[in-house]
Structure 1
């Protein structure tokens, strides 16, 4: 009987986790898929143990055996060999089995909100990785089908299925992964997602990973039996624990026995295990089935209706409206490093009275600790009526902290954010501190935009939409501004509502930036950075020691001459005004970096920018 026929006619028990067993032996600092080449005997024993436990279906040890993930371990050139060895090992176990066993070639999801690539992957790169791996698996002609598993992104899974279907007529199992029971990461409910996959032609559709049996069964209560397809369920053993620095699952195998019949009644034709499960868990699934006959009808418990998120309060991002019509200055005012805040608030008030578009508040500049910019932003807004623009770094917050920070900002009514990566912790006052970097800045932009749609990163509906204006940072101090400008286009594509650049000290960079933006058709508001120089020594420090800042040779020469003449501050302000002249010839937005908290200098420059609107009237 073919796998397709068996899948349609009976309930099949699949194997459990491969990685969990390998982790217990080899830890996390190795590519489990690479063990196909170096420790094939261990892989074979695991396959045999699952078969001995009663598994009808086993999967190849190829979950992350694509070029992209293998490259992290220096194994990209062995992608073909690793996949072929995995199939050979599974096939060896299959041939020796005393009952019919089917082998599925496994392809795991690649994209995700915890991806650790230097740059977020494009859809084209991901799809190329899937196609290459699928071809290697299929060319062995020793598998009975393909298992697409652990896909958080339904669109990525749909693309992967289409790629595989173009390559083969073998059965394809397509499994999504949920953070929240019954809903995917983008807010799509599980039933809708599985029906869509079935309509594309997947032979089995289901879910795996993240959730234990209890929450997985809850999720499937609202799933209809699909037409021309069947359901698959691969729960985790339960929630993991950490013991002696290792992740462990201590849910007893006997617990699984209670759920095989439950999943059968919910319509599953394929029941297996994911993270934390062992041959003992699979033996429990087998023992829990009194019959292998699939159900043909099902009473579905409708998923609770989701109340559409309430619209956010009509908070206007005035500076973004103004900058399309007139010159607007934003001023960055660094939070104090001590509790002496009087000067900070005096400066903010003076700048606000001068007509500044917003006060931007850095988040630990140069990785040095300061008072929380969120706390100061709330004071500016509610005590002084000043519009704050808060920097939010990916350096200081993991995914949990970022979500809490975003929700907190919305609750405070602070709706302007500049998303930045943040300087590495090791360059600051506390080099022993740890940088987090769970997300790239563009991924954080995407996350915030999901909040604007009323959806959390896990797909949970938040009952209210946020109304964030999200900015992206850009460094024009590079050799080729036109090529670097592609990063602005990328950030705009990810949801950036405006761009703030690093300070510019070369007028030619300003003109080159305008030309590059026009050539790419980018109309998103850009606030070009200006930083007044205080002294020749200050100029040298910025040029040689601050990442992302470079001064033109003539600027350094002028500041050196000013040092000799004793008028460094005057010359520094004059250079800043000349830079503003160049910026305002091409842009409406200016971002003034206050030097060493000397707000009076920024105040003079704000008035200089404002005067240009009077001249233009």
Structure 2
């Protein structure tokens, strides 16, 4: 009988984790390489699961694709490692006549932008061809947090074979995927794409896996599968462990069967003893053919409170809009900073922007300072958020805090690496890129957390993205902007630009974009300042002419500052005619320089308006 024929009348038991056993044996390198370097060990693990009662075993190929193997320099061994894995599993399964599934693991995690779907498609096609060439009994697609990826993989593989395909998603929260889609809906979509068995694996232990299936209907044309972890993980003496009694896992298997699951295996932390317990507990139990689906009480997601002022991206589409960066201090004497922020606000600018520990140097929290300025001085803030300093937990918590405090303008950036800052040995997190952060913030605007769980209220963030035009090939930078727009960017803020030619180039390269741009202008303060920016700060380049002009005043601080302002005004003359948004970067808390530039912009706009009115009056008459 085939696998699908058996499932018509039986609840089948799959194996447990391979990686968990290898980890317990002290293996700390590429597990898939063992298919050729130590096939006896892999076969031993397969036999242990078969002797424990597994009806189905999976190949040791979870990460045997070109993308993941590239981490070990083995991307050219996809065919070799996958073929060897099927051969090993079939040797182990043959005497006992067990089914062998060729395993293809998910590639993406939270970081979608790092691996395009086209690359995933090519990698999966290559791996599937290798697995299928050795004639397994089916294919297992497991540990897919990103439903888009799994749907693409299924669309690639389904036309390649008539063998059964098992498609399993992974959840951060019971019953919901990370994009907020209910598990039941996700499984229905996979069924419609041709999966023969649909289910879940990894991340959650038995308790939460059962809870998730309580809301899942029995499929019309597929079977349900579940490979829960042994439990939630723990760390003891630096090693990952899963605390779970085998008997508990066996009882959980019975409950999964009661929820209509017909294929039950194990993921992280499970061992042959867990599979043995599940087999014993399910002995003699027929599949469930009808079930009562638990109706989950709908979570009401409240609309976000309307902002008292228009978002910056809407404001800049209509009128001249000026924002000014004023970095918070590196010390705790904030009097001068607050004075400067108030002075800037009094000029009528749209917002004071605050970097997030720029150049990887610790400063007073921009969240704290933004809240203080808002509550006590009515100063509107645009808060920068880097991916460097916070993991996903910290990022979501930070954003929830910003929303709660009424700070809704944010700039999502990757952040300078720690090696350029005060603590070069500090760890950089980078759980996500700026693109994924933009997408996750927009997901929160729909009332959905990073894990897919309802937030009970929508946020209303206006999300800016960074644009560095100081590159040799600007078309590539613009392609990146287009990608950021796809991920949800509302507007862009550029690095400071120091030549008129570059400003015009930026305009010509971006004028087709629907998303507004704030053009960055930064007054230079001295020749040393100019040299430092040009030679040492990533993303900033000055022209030879600018460097020479500042050099002529290297021994006169005041003259140098005036020359820096003169250069900035010349750049503003060009920028103001092409961009509604101007982004002034204040150097060294010298806010009086930014105020002078603000006044200059206002005066030039006034003169232009007067000329325009005069022209209209003349032609009207």
Q: TM-score range by the shorter chain?
A: over 0.9
**Match in the other structure for 1:113:** 110
Distance, in Å, in 2 between the alignment partners of 1:528 and 1:275 is 50
**Match in the other structure for 2:392:** 399
| Matches for 1:112-511 after TM superposition, within 5 Å | 112-113=109-110, 120-141=114-135, 143-511=136-504
Secondary structure in 2 matching 1:596: coil
Secondary structure in 2 matching 1:597: coil
User: Quick one: which of 599, 604, 609 aligns to 1:612?
Assistant: 604
Indicate if the aligned counterparts of 2:466 and 2:495 stay in contact, CA closer than 8 A. yes
Indicate if the aligned counterparts of 2:111 and 2:433 stay in contact, CA closer than 8 A. no
**Match in the other structure for 1:19:** 19
Mark the runs of 5 or more structure 2 residues left unpaired by the alignment. 610-621
Indicate if the aligned counterparts of 2:439 and 2:488 stay in contact, CA closer than 8 A. yes
Secondary structure in 1 matching 2:94: helix
Distance, in Å, in 2 between the alignment partners of 1:151 and 1:170 is 20
**Match in the other structure for 1:592:** 584
The alpha-carbon distance between structure 1 residues 320 and 162, as it changes in their structure 2 partners (threshold 3 A), is closer
Distance, in Å, in 2 between the alignment partners of 1:88 and 1:329 is 66
Indicate if the aligned counterparts of 1:364 and 1:370 stay in contact, CA closer than 8 A. yes
The alpha-carbon distance between structure 1 residues 139 and 591, as it changes in their structure 2 partners (threshold 3 A), is same
**Match in the other structure for 1:50:** 49
Deviation, 1:403, is 0.7
1:536 aligns with 2:527: yes
Deviation, 1:61, is 0.9
Deviation, 1:526, is 0.8
Deviation, 1:535, is 0.8
The alpha-carbon distance between structure 1 residues 310 and 523, as it changes in their structure 2 partners (threshold 3 A), is closer
Q: Deviations over 1:444-490 (max 9, x none)?
A: 11110100000001110111000001111111111111222111111
Deviation, 1:511, is 1.1
Secondary structure in 1 matching 2:425: coil
Indicate if the aligned counterparts of 1:327 and 1:612 stay in contact, CA closer than 8 A. no
Indicate if the aligned counterparts of 1:54 and 1:282 stay in contact, CA closer than 8 A. yes
Q: Deviations over 1:538-594 (max 9, x none)?
A: 111111111111110000011112336772111111001111112112211111111
**Match in the other structure for 2:616:** none
Q: Deviations over 1:397-441 (max 9, x none)?
A: 011100100100000010011111111112211223221111111
Secondary structure in 2 matching 1:222: coil
1:573 aligns with 2:577: no
The alpha-carbon distance between structure 1 residues 315 and 145, as it changes in their structure 2 partners (threshold 3 A), is farther
Deviation, 1:114, is 5.3
Q: Deviations over 1:153-186 (max 9, x none)?
A: 2222222112111101111111111111111111
Bigger mean CA offset, 419-428 vs 11-20: 419-428
**Match in the other structure for 2:7:** 7
The alpha-carbon distance between structure 1 residues 85 and 312, as it changes in their structure 2 partners (threshold 3 A), is farther
Q: Deviations over 1:503-560 (max 9, x none)?
A: 1112211111111113xx2121111111111111111111111111111000001111
Secondary structure in 1 matching 2:318: coil
Distance, in Å, in 1 between the alignment partners of 2:223 and 2:442 is 35
Deviation, 1:608, is 1.6
1:583 aligns with 2:575: yes
Q: Deviations over 1:62-103 (max 9, x none)?
A: 111111111122111111111111111111111133xx3101
Indicate if the aligned counterparts of 1:259 and 1:288 stay in contact, CA closer than 8 A. no
Deviation, 1:318, is 4.2
Alignment TM-score, normalising by the size of structure 2:
0.95
The alpha-carbon distance between structure 1 residues 298 and 549, as it changes in their structure 2 partners (threshold 3 A), is same
Distance, in Å, in 2 between the alignment partners of 1:469 and 1:432 is 34
Distance, in Å, in 2 between the alignment partners of 1:155 and 1:246 is 33
Indicate if the aligned counterparts of 1:482 and 1:513 stay in contact, CA closer than 8 A. no
Residues matched between the structures, number: 608
Alignment TM-score, normalising by the size of structure 1:
0.96
Secondary structure in 1 matching 2:263: strand
Indicate if the aligned counterparts of 1:237 and 1:275 stay in contact, CA closer than 8 A. yes
Distance, in Å, in 1 between the alignment partners of 2:345 and 2:560 is 27
Distance, in Å, in 1 between the alignment partners of 2:190 and 2:10 is 21
Distance, in Å, in 1 between the alignment partners of 2:427 and 2:503 is 35
Distance, in Å, in 2 between the alignment partners of 1:514 and 1:152 is 39
Distance, in Å, in 1 between the alignment partners of 2:105 and 2:212 is 21
Bigger mean CA offset, 287-296 vs 218-227: 287-296
Distance, in Å, in 2 between the alignment partners of 1:213 and 1:612 is 68
Distance, in Å, in 1 between the alignment partners of 2:366 and 2:556 is 39
The alpha-carbon distance between structure 1 residues 360 and 565, as it changes in their structure 2 partners (threshold 3 A), is closer
